[in-house]
Structure formats: C-alpha cells, structure tokens
Amino acid sequence: MEVSDCHKCGAPQQAFERDCPSCGEHLGFPNVLLANSSLELEALESRFQSSLSKCVMNRSSSEFSTLVELIAKTSHVVVSVPVDIALKIVTDPLTLYVNYEKLVGAGVRSRGSFANDSHRKIVAGALFGSFGDQILYGALSLNGRGLATYGDIYCTLKGDSISKRTSFLEENSYDFSQKYKDEQLPNGYRCDWGNRDKLVAIKLESEGLIKKSSDPKKWPSLVLNCDGVDRSKDKFVEAHIYGSFNIYSIDKIVVSEFMKESVLNKSMAEAIVDAFNNTAS
Amino acid sequence: MIRATVSEAMGWCIFDANDDGAAQLYSAFDMSKLDPIEQRYNLSVIDDWRILEVKDAESALLETKRLANTDRAISLLRLCLILKNRNELDWLYREVEELIVSCAPSEELIREMLVAPFADVEQLRDSAAHALSRGYNVVGNVFNELHGYQPHIKRLSNAWLRLPISIFLSLGASKETLWSEFVKNGLIVKLLNATDNHGVKRLFGAMAFEKTSPQERVGVTALGAAICTELFGNGDSKSVLAAEIFNDDSPSEEDSSDRIQVDSQAEFQRALLEIEGIKNALLRGDDFHANKYLAELAERQIKYGSEFAQKSLCNIAKKCSEMYRLDFELVCLEKSYLIDKNDPWTLLQFADYYKRTRLYNEAEDMAKEALGTPHDLVARCLIADIYSKKGNCAKAIQEYKTIPGWEEIVIVRTAIADNLRWLGRYDEALQEYDLIDHQGFGSYRVQAGRAEIARRQGELQNSLELYKDIIGFNNIDEHSLLVYKTAYASILKQVGEYQDALIMAEDVIEQSPFMIGTRVLRSSLLGLLDEGVIGLELLPGNPENLGNSTYDSWLRDYTRGVLLLKTNKYAEAKESLLRNLSASSINTEEKEILRLASAVSCLMPDIDKPIEAKDLLSQITGPCDAYITYLKLVLDYHVSVIEKDKLESARLLSELNMRRADNLVFLWEAVEALSDNRISEALDIEVESLLRWGAIAA
C-alpha cells in the first residue's frame, strides 16, 4: 500500500505515521490515512457503484439512497463498556480511556513480550501494522445502541470529537482478518468518517438487506445487530478510533436493553446515567 | 517471583507471554482467563497499569482484586458526590461500606482521593451529613475527613504548583509525576498532617535518607525546603496564608441564646470536645482555626464563671506543652492570666512554662505567688524543681524539705534522690531509691534514676538493661515512655549501636514529632552514620514557636556545632559553639559539655588555636559523667602533644591508661593516634566521641 511523502518537507515515509519523523508535521491519523489511500478509495467507490447498480436493477435505488442519506446524517459511533468502566468514566472526568494494548506504548510492559503476542498480531498487526495499539474499537449505530456483548453501558461518542480520527471496517476485524488470513486483505472494505454511508450501503446491499419498500425503521437493527449473548452472531460495522477519549468526548450514555436485571445493576446503571447527565450538564 | 502487569480500574492481570507467544490475560474478580483478542474492545484507563512482583500467580490475582476493589470504592464514593438526587442512595452507601469493611480500608481511600482539592467542598460536607443521617457512619466519616483536609490540600497543591521546575530536575521526574507518586505512597497525607515546617522537612529528610544517589538526596532535601518556604514562609506569613485559606470556611455561629440554656454538664462535655478539637487543629498545623476555637471557647465559658474558662485554657495549655507547642501554650496562659491573675492553676502552669523555657527567675516569681493557696504543695515542689534546673540542687533539696511531712511523700523523696544524683552523690541517691523501693513505692522513675547513675558511672550495659525494664513497664504513661525510649536510644548510641538507636529514635519521632531532644539525637546518629549533611538538615531549627531557650535547645546547638565539625565547617562550628557558651540560660554542666566541643573546634586544622583550647578545657571543673571526664583527659593530652609538653603528656597518658575501661576503648584509640602523632585521625575520633555522648538523660 502506497505511503505519501510528507506534504511539508517532502521526506519519504516508510509507513503510515501520525507525525513525520523528519520534520514532525502532523500527517493525519494513520488509520484514516490508510482508509483514504487511493487503492482503498478506488475499490470502495467501485463497490459502491456496483451496489447502486444492483439496487437500480432491483428497483430499490430509492431505499438505497434513503439509507445512504440516513447514515450520513445520523449515524454515530457507540463504544460499549462494562459498568465498572462506565462508573470510572463518570466519576473521574479527567481520566483518558485507551485501548488496553496501549499500555505497551506507555512502557508499562516490556514491548517484547506483548508486542510479539501471536494472537494479538492476527488482528491489529494485519489491519494496522505498528499502530494497532493506538486503536479503540466501537460500532457504528443509528440509535445509540451498541454491542451488549462487550458491555452493558453504551457510550455514544460525539462526532466532533472523533470524526477526523475514526475509520470503519465493514465487519468485525477478527472475522475479517481470519477470512483473509492467508492472502492479501482486499481493498474497499474500510473507509473514513465521510464515506461511512457508502460502506454501510455496500454492506447491507451485499447481504441482500436492501429491498423495495424496506421499512426505514428497521435500518438501525440491520446496521447493528446483537443479541447480547453470542459475540459470534454480532453484525456491525466496526469503528476504529485513533487515540483516547474521556467523558467530554461522550454525547450520550444509554443502558443496554440486555442488562441482567437486579436491583443493584439497575440502581447502578441509573446512577451512572444520572451522574453523566449531571457532569455533562 | 513472577511479574504481572495489573490494571486497578479493570481488575485485570497480564502475565508475560508463555511458550506459545501469547500473553495471559486474567480477570482478578472471578479469576477467569480472558481472550486478549475479544478484549480488544475493552477500554483501559491510561496510566492505570503497574507492575507487580509477587511470589506466584494467585498472589498477583489477589492483589489485583484488592487494588480493583479499592479503585471501585473510590469511584462509588465519587458517585455519591456527583448524584444530585440523594433520596435513593442507601444502596450506594451500603455498597461502599461493604467494600471498606471487607477490602478497601478508609485510610487508603482517603489517601487516594486526596489527589487534588475538591471543586465543591460544601458538597463533601453535605454528603457527610447525609450519609451520617442515614446511619452510614463509615462513608460519612470518610467524607468528613476529606472535608477536613480540603483547606490543607488546597494550600499544599497551590504551594506545589508554585515550585520552580528547576527543583525537579535532579529528581528526574515531573511535578505531576512526583505528585501522583506522593499520592500513591501516602506522602501527601503525611504532609497534610505535618504540623509545621519541621514536620515537613522531617518527611522529606526521611525520604532523602532512602535515596541511594547523592543527587537524589540533595534533590529531595531541596524539594522539602522549597515546600516549607512556600507553605510557611518565614514566621508571620503562616497565619496570613492560613487566613486566606480559611476565610470562607468558618463554622457557623450558634445563637447566643441557645448557649445560655445549655446546662453546665453539657457545657463541660462540649468544652472537652472543643479542647480536643483545638488540639487536633494544632496537630494539623491549623493554627488559624485553633485560635478561633480558643477565642470562642473562652468567650462562651466566661458566662459560666471565670474558673470554667481558666480551667479550659489551662487544660489546652497542658496539651500544648505535651505537643511542644510552646507558642500556643503561652497564648492560652496569657488569656487565662488576663481573666484572673490570682488563679493558682494558671500561676503554676505559667511558672512551669517559664521553667521549661528556662526563664527561671520569672518561673520562681510566678510559682511563689501560688504559695499559701490550696495548691501550696505543688508550688513548693515546683520552686524546688526550678532550683534544680538552675543547677542549685542543694537549695532544691532544702526547699523540698520545707514541705510539711515530706518524708511521707514519695514524689518528694524521689525528687530529693534525683537531686542527690545530680550532685554526684550517687551512693546516697541509690540508697534513697532502694529505700523507696523497699517501702513498696518504687516506680519507673526510681528505676530511671538508677539507670542514669549507671550511665554517668560508665556502666552503659547496666544502664541499657535498666532502661529496657522501664520500657517494658505496664503502667508507664505515654509521654514518659517516649522520654525513656529516647534515653535508651541515647545510650545505644553511646555504646555504638547506631542503627538500633536510629530505629528507636524514629519510632519516638513518629509518635511525637515535637520532641526536640529525640530529633537532635537522630541528627547526631545520622552524623555517626556518615550522613552528617542530612543530620544537619534534619536538625530542628529555632522557629518562633519554640522560643530560643527550651530544655533541649542548647543540645540542638551543641549537636549542630559538632555536626559542622564533622562536615569540615570548622569556623562556623566554632562560632556556633562559642556563641552558646555565653548564653545565660544553660547550666554549669551543659556549659562544660559545650566547652569540650569548643575546645575540639579550636584544635581543628584551619583554626589551630591550642592555647584557646587549653583555656576552655581548664574551665571544666565540675563533676561530669565518666565519659565526659575521660574525653576531657583525651583533649588535655591532645593539647599537650601539640605543645610538645612531654612531661604533661606522660602524666596524662598514665592517667588515661589507668582509667581505661571497656566502654572507653573508642576514646583510647584517639590516645593511641595522638601518641603516634596521627593528629588528624585523633581529631576524627574526638569529633565522633562528641556526637556519641549520650546527652539525652531521663
């Protein structure tokens, strides 16, 4: 995959880096640069045109257009977190949250032992190369619901906080990298914030979910589907956010519909939402 | 030992990669193994991870669980503060209390939550009141304590922020990192509890002592000094700063009509609580509030009669004297004296204060005013004790014997025996101690008298044994125990057990940071352990709140002088020692010790004034303990060697040889060095012997 020279000093870049190692100029977020490489963009556009053509043939082009518009206007990224982390988020506003692998970069663990972790390489290494530990994972959503299989509290991130540093992958990155583990990962399956509408439309069309007279009310559950139990059945567009976030990056907190009912759970979840609203206000 | 990387926020524990290259990720809550790939969706708190080195994986998981529960308890406490609707918080309080009781001690929570001042201090107070009103005392008390610390953490953090970056360079850590480290290791709480600049310096001094590199030690010491300057400035700035901090934090005044309706018993109980409150405020270094509470208490109690107010003031003064807060003691006594100049308790306590500050004439005058009152016996004893302190033990004994029926009063007989001891009449003193014992009135005080006689006679092992017995006594009061522990440590020092002595001294200082004598002892021990610079740093200063003539201040100046000799600052040392020689407040024996040290300073290479030394030594005439007597002889010999007075040298050598004892081997080495003309080596031993002198007597 081609890597552009530094736009300021012209130094050739070896890999997707956030800052030019030569002059320190900010080059952009590596995951977004990767998604915006010409090969990815061309392949994405090609897939989009192909999907659109199929919908025209199926007389569902109007639904296709409606979906694209809806995604562009209202979709957002939701990060699902366990109750304890949500509690921490609302009670310690200054704390930053990162991918847990980032601790490698913080020098807490010896880089050797963890960076060479063979399992970890399957996903982060294949998709992001050296900056995998900078990536936070979320899911694209239309209604503030997230993946309950990863946590009972859904945090909707503010578009303004993450749009420049977020990219998307058509499916769960583990499934994706497993599917192509013996070959080159295909282009056209990831995008930046601005092209997420196209990616979702392509995905739903390829799965045969865009039909004539499709009910727009069902779009949210088609974009993100989770039964709260089995992760392998989760269907979603995966969001990759570069860096960290804190409470001020969060727009809304919602309790999962799958949360196990108990007085303590319910009280705690309500308290977290209240506390978030108090802090955010 | 194994290494594990743990997250407090997550309760996760990662063990290093195994043979197949996979890191092992566990949740400490249910001890379950997690899939690192699936967990990539999970979040982690930045800077939350730390390395644990433990004996096995199970220990790592248990420790992780404990840390995670503490972290959770802190989050829940914060949640209590954030939630505006407090009506349904019982479950939350219950949850926190369970965590505190089972695995997250409240001290640890408070320590971790004192990372910065709270933005809304009133919320803490309201939350404390709410939790207490709902019966959740543990949570309520945590909030109360946090509330109490707020002015101090605000003051400390502001001071910290004002520190120049340059101070942190030698420590190799940023301001922020170091602050976080201090929060974690509990130093912040200790600093908040430090009552004055010495308390703060002591904490940093102890920390410096743990550092291995000189650079770090210097850095830590400099940091402590800078913080002290920021916090306390010089003198008056302390109260100004305190006023700035507390001006928005005044407790509400009660309606005056309510006060009058309070019955005397309730008032008494209330006064006791308030006295404790004033003591606690002083312990925290919160003089502003202590003064405020004191004024309120006195003003209110006057309405019940002056004697109530005076008793309370004397009570507080007594507590101040126990804390060595002589400045505040004086404030209380002056207030009480203004209320009624004839109140015998005030007169006696004032006299005792003057005695301790070595203003003996004022003390005597004040005590005499209490003669003929119902407290006549106490007044006479006090007057006699003042004579003792002035060095006139014979007159003291005479005074004691004017007390009607003194033969029947054990405390008077013990005091007479002590005076015999100070006069060097050891046999008579021992006889009297034995008699008191045989009559069944023996106490640890009698035992301490024997221990001191043993010390002065050079029987140091015997003295140690006797002090060891005293420390094991069951009925000994807390303050006396600390005094005897200090005396014990002092003799340990004299026999060369420096490390054990240091541990004992630190233990005492930990319990009573105001004991100047013990702190001086620690400094001399540090000097003996080749940490003279740190010893000087940790030496108590001469702050405004201690006056310039307390019991042990001469000893502080003596130790300072000898430490300066030890660190090769001869001129400064000599000047310091000689200056104190002219002080009127020190007695004959103390002057003689200072003369010895001054003589050594005159023999130092850069000074080289043996004639001055000889003159100083010739002025030492009184009865001294065996150690000092021998040291004087060594110095006499030193002068004779320098003056090449062979006849005198031979005479002194013969006397030194004759008086040689097992516990004086150390000093004999100086004699040998002098005989071989190894003057510099002899000087080193002489300086060390001055530091070794067990000056802290019970």
Q: What is the pLDDT of residue A154?
A: 95
Q: Are residues B519 and B666 in the same domain?
A: yes
Higher pLDDT, A214 or B695: A214
Strands (E), B62-131: none
Q: Is A25 at the interface with chain B, CB within 8 A?
A: no
Q: What is the pLDDT of residue B22?
A: 62
Q: Are residues B515 and B632 in the same domain?
A: yes
d(C-alpha B482, C-alpha B474), whole Å:
14
Amino acid identity at B63? E
Cβ atoms < 10 Å from Cβ of A93: 14
d(C-alpha B639, C-alpha B610), whole Å:
6
Domain that holds residue B557: 506-692
Question: B49, A109: Cβ pair inside 8 Å?
Answer: yes
Question: B36, A267: Cβ pair inside 8 Å?
Answer: no
Amino acid identity at B633? L
Chains A and B form CB pairs within 8 A to the count of: 136
Q: What is the pLDDT of residue A26?
A: 80
Across A197-211, B133-147, B614-628, the highest mean pLDDT is recorded for: A197-211
pLDDT, average across residues A104-119? 43
Strand (E) or helix (H) holding B595: helix B588-603
Q: Are residues B398 and B534 in the same domain?
A: no
Q: What is the pLDDT of residue B381?
A: 87
Q: Which chain B residues are closer than 8 Å to A114 by Cβ?
A: 14, 17, 23
Cβ atoms < 10 Å from Cβ of B422: 22
Nearest to A240 by CA among B38, B10, B34, B41: B41
pLDDT, average across residues A15-41? 83
Nearest to B641 by CA among B684, B606, B670: B670
d(C-alpha A146, C-alpha A155), whole Å:
8
A240 contacts A168 by C-beta, under 8 angstroms: yes
Q: Are residues B677 and B556 in the same domain?
A: yes
Judge whether B91 lies within some domain: no
Judge whether B561 lies within some domain: yes
d(C-alpha B168, C-alpha B1), whole Å:
33
Q: Is the pLDDT of residue B515 over 90?
A: no
Sorted by sequence, the CB contacts under 8 Å of residue A222 that are 6+ apart come out as A204, A209
Residue of A nearest to B83 (CA): A275
Q: What is the pLDDT of residue A102?
A: 56
Sorted by sequence, the CB contacts under 8 Å of residue B361 that are 6+ apart come out as none
Q: Are residues B69 and B167 in the same domain?
A: no
Residue B41 CB burial class (10 angstroms; 0-12, 13-18, ≥19)? buried
Q: Residue B5: how many CA atoms within 13 Å on its side-chain side?
A: 24
Higher pLDDT, A244 or B207: A244
Q: Is B15 at the interface with chain A, CB within 8 A?
A: no
Q: Are residues B168 and B75 in the same domain?
A: no
B419 contacts B426 by C-beta, under 8 angstroms: no
pLDDT band at B394 (very low <50, low <70, confident <90, very high): very high
pLDDT, average across residues B155-160? 88
* Shortest Cα–Cα distance, B46 to chain A (Å): 6
Residue of B nearest to A123 (CA): B37
The per-residue pLDDT for range B425-440, each reduced to its tens digit, is 999 999 999 988 887 6
Computed on alpha carbons and rounded to an integer, the radius of gyration of chain B in Å comes to: 30
Q: Is the pLDDT of residue B220 over 70?
A: yes
Mean pLDDT taken over chain B: 80
d(C-alpha A204, C-alpha A217), whole Å:
15
Question: B43, A97: Cβ pair inside 8 Å?
Answer: yes
Strand (E) or helix (H) holding B52: strand B49-54
Higher pLDDT, A210 or A11: A210
Q: Are residues B631 and B529 in the same domain?
A: yes
Across A51-55, A211-215, B123-127, B445-449, the highest mean pLDDT is recorded for: A51-55
d(C-alpha B187, C-alpha B212), whole Å:
19
> How is residue B524 written in tokens?
């001399």
Higher pLDDT, B340 or B245: B340
Q: Is B9 at the interface with chain A, CB within 8 A?
A: yes
Which one of B34, B63, B82 terminates a domain?
Answer: B82
d(C-alpha B73, C-alpha B360), whole Å:
57
Q: Which chain B residues are closer than 8 Å to A85 by Cβ?
A: 9-10, 42-43, 45
* Shortest Cα–Cα distance, B22 to chain A (Å): 5
B45 contacts B9 by C-beta, under 8 angstroms: yes
Q: Are residues B570 and B664 in the same domain?
A: yes
* Shortest Cα–Cα distance, B332 to chain A (Å): 45
Q: Which chain B residues are closer than 8 Å to A100 by Cβ?
A: 7, 10, 12, 39-40, 42-44
Judge whether B268 lies within some domain: no
pLDDT, average across residues B352-378? 87
Cβ atoms < 10 Å from Cβ of B498: 20
Q: Is the pLDDT of residue B215 over 70?
A: no
Q: Is A118 at the interface with chain B, CB within 8 A?
A: yes
The per-residue pLDDT for range B625-678, each reduced to its tens digit, is 778 888 999 999 999 999 989 899 999 999 998 888 777 788 899 999 999 989
Candidate from A82, A91, A174 with C-beta closest to B78? A91
Residue with tokens 């126990």, as numbered in its chain: B322
Question: A116, B16: Cβ pair inside 8 Å?
Answer: no
Q: Which chain A residues are closer than 8 Å to B35 by Cβ?
A: 119
Antiparallel, parallel or unpaired: β A190-192 and A166-169 = antiparallel
Q: What is the pLDDT of residue B257?
A: 36
pLDDT band at A112 (very low <50, low <70, confident <90, very high): very low
What is the CATH number for B388?
A: 1.25.40
Which one of B17, B47, B82 terminates a domain?
Answer: B82
The per-residue pLDDT for range A202-260, each reduced to its tens digit, is 999 999 999 888 888 899 999 999 998 888 899 999 999 998 888 889 999 999 998 88
Q: What is the pLDDT of residue A107?
A: 41
Q: Are residues B379 and B511 in the same domain?
A: no
Judge whether B204 lies within some domain: yes
Q: Are residues B511 and B617 in the same domain?
A: yes
SS3 B604: coil
Q: Is B71 at the interface with chain A, CB within 8 A?
A: yes
Buried b (16+ CB within 10 A) or exposed e, B15-31: bebeeeebbbbbbbbee
Mean pLDDT taken over chain A: 84
Q: Is the pLDDT of residue B420 over 90?
A: yes
Candidate from A91, A109, A137 with C-beta closest to B40? A137
B6 phi and psi angles, rounded to 5 deg:
-125, 150
Which one of B389, B404, B419 terminates a domain?
Answer: B404
Among the ranges given (B288-302, B380-394, B624-638), the one the predictor scored with the smallest mean pLDDT: B288-302
* Shortest Cα–Cα distance, B49 to chain A (Å): 7
Cβ atoms < 10 Å from Cβ of B129: 14
Residue B32 CB burial class (10 angstroms; 0-12, 13-18, ≥19)? exposed
Q: Which chain A residues are closer than 8 Å to B88 by Cβ?
A: 267
pLDDT, average across residues B339-365? 87
Q: By percentage, how much of chain B surpasses pLDDT 90?
A: 19
Q: What is the ipTM of this complex?
A: 0.80
A236 contacts A172 by C-beta, under 8 angstroms: yes
pLDDT band at B235 (very low <50, low <70, confident <90, very high): very low
B540 phi and psi angles, rounded to 5 deg:
-60, 140
Judge whether B306 lies within some domain: no
Number of folded domains in chain B?
A: 4
Sheet holding B24-27, edge to edge: B32-34, B24-27, B12-15, B2-7, B49-54
The per-residue pLDDT for range B582-602, each reduced to its tens digit, is 776 677 778 888 899 999 999
Judge whether B588 lies within some domain: yes
End-to-end CA distance of chain B: 47
Judge whether B201 lies within some domain: yes
Among the ranges given (A188-192, B194-198, B506-510, B686-690), the one the predictor scored with the smallest mean pLDDT: B194-198
Buried b (16+ CB within 10 A) or exposed e, A238-254: bbbbbbbbbbebbbbbb
The per-residue pLDDT for range B238-263, each reduced to its tens digit, is 333 333 333 333 333 333 333 333 34
* Shortest Cα–Cα distance, A231 to chain B (Å): 9
Q: Is the pLDDT of residue B307 over 80?
A: no
B691 contacts B597 by C-beta, under 8 angstroms: no
The per-residue pLDDT for range B22-60, each reduced to its tens digit, is 667 888 888 888 876 667 667 777 667 777 878 888 888
Residue with tokens 């589907």, as numbered in its chain: A225
Q: Is B22 at the interface with chain A, CB within 8 A?
A: yes
Q: Is B79 at the interface with chain A, CB within 8 A?
A: yes
Judge whether B230 lies within some domain: yes
Q: Is the pLDDT of residue B308 over 80?
A: no
Q: Which chain A residues are closer than 8 Å to B78 by Cβ?
A: 91-92
pLDDT, average across residues B301-309? 71
Q: What is the pLDDT of residue A108?
A: 43
DSSP assignments along chain A, one per residue: ---PPPTTT-PPPSS--SB-TTT--B---HHHHHHTSHHHHHHHHHHHHHHHHHHHHTT-HHHHHHHHHHHHHH-EEEEEE-HHHHHHHHH-TT--EEEGGGGGTTTSS-HHHHHT-HHHIIIIIHHHGGGGGGEEEEEEESSS---GGG-SEEEEEPHHHHGGGEEEESS-HHHHHHHTTTSPPPSSSEEEGGGHHHHHHHHHHHTT---TT--GGGHHHHHSB--SS-GGG-B-PEEEEES-B-GGGEEEEEE-TTPPP-HHHHHHHHHHHHHHHHHH-
Candidate from A87, A98, A110 with C-beta closest to B43? A98
d(C-alpha B425, C-alpha B354), whole Å:
28
d(C-alpha B698, C-alpha B695), whole Å:
10
